[in-house]
Amino acid sequence: MAKVGKRTTAAREAFAGKENLSVEEAIALVKSSASAKFDETVEIAVNLGVDPRHADQMVRGVVGLPNGTGKTVRVAVFARGPKADEAKEAGADIVGAEDLMETIQGGTIEFDRCIATPDMMPIVGRLGKILGPRNLMPNPKVGTVTMDVADAVKNAKGGEVQFKVEKAGVVHAGVGKVSFDEAKLVENVRAFVSAVARAKPAGAKGAYMKKIAISSTMGPGVSVDVSNATGE
């Protein structure tokens, strides 16, 4: 515990007094301060000026990070027949129909992304209370309810990130690993921020992006200048 305390203290000292940095400066600081024994995820949190309780202020979307996430994504697909075969060939980890529904209802959820063909939604719909809170419910708006299951599986495996605003008005995601080159992390951050900007809802009033912070899994966060991150 003492070692962890020293690392945390050192990281906080390195971050002290530093705020509203450029994306490049923030990434460099986060990378240099990461000291865990595993390859930490670089995380981004964006505070938005929206109230997601109102339908016209909901923010959600999907973005393909140009350099991937560095994370192995387990994909489950609800499909039958030829579409099930396509999903398997594309690299899906779990493929099924009623059997997969029963597995999930039994409490076993061994996947990070769930995809379904449209005809499977009556089955998937029964799992709303289980998959919904985990942000795993297939949705056509983010391309996870589709007949093109092969493409959806490949996108999920290749670094596609879904995002959805939380009750507090925050959107967050992992945008790579500390081991990534700085330039690749910067590129991923800008791609994510741009996607969130494009997802601005019609009901948003006033400042849309209020604050952006970047951190590593075990490290403190540092604020990023919003205008620099958005290119405005």
What domains lie within the chain, and their CATH numbers? 18-69+160-230 (3.30.190.20), 75-157 (3.40.50.790)
Burial classification of residue 201, based on how many CB atoms lie within 10 Å of its CB (0-12 exposed, 13-18 middle, 19 or more buried)? middle
Task: Give the angle subtended at the CA of 162 by the CAs of 132 and 43, to the nearest 5°.
Answer: 110
- Cβ pair 125, 137 in contact under 8 A: no
The model scores a pTM over 0.85:
no
DSSP conformation class of 57: G
Q: How confident is the model at residue 10 (pLDDT cuts 50, 70, 90)?
A: low
Q: Express as a percent the part of the chain with pLDDT over 90.
A: 85
Top mean pLDDT of 3-7, 181-185, 216-220 is at 181-185
pLDDT beyond 50 at 1: no
Q: Which pLDDT value is given to residue 224?
A: 96
Tell me the per-residue pLDDT of 45-68, one tens digit each, with 9 for 90 and over. 999 999 999 999 999 999 999 999
Instruction: Give me 5's structure tokens.
Output: 């305390």
Q: Which pLDDT value is given to residue 2?
A: 41
Q: Which pLDDT value is given to residue 139?
A: 94
What is the residue-averaged pLDDT of the chain? 92
Tell me the per-residue pLDDT of 88-109, one tens digit each, with 9 for 90 and over. 999 999 999 999 999 999 999 9
Which of 26, 22, 46 lies closest to 197 in space, CA to CA? 46
Q: What is the mean pLDDT of residues 155-184?
A: 94
Neighbours of 10 (CB within 10 A): 12
Tell me the per-residue pLDDT of 135-169, one tens digit each, with 9 for 90 and over. 899 999 899 999 999 999 999 998 899 999 999 99
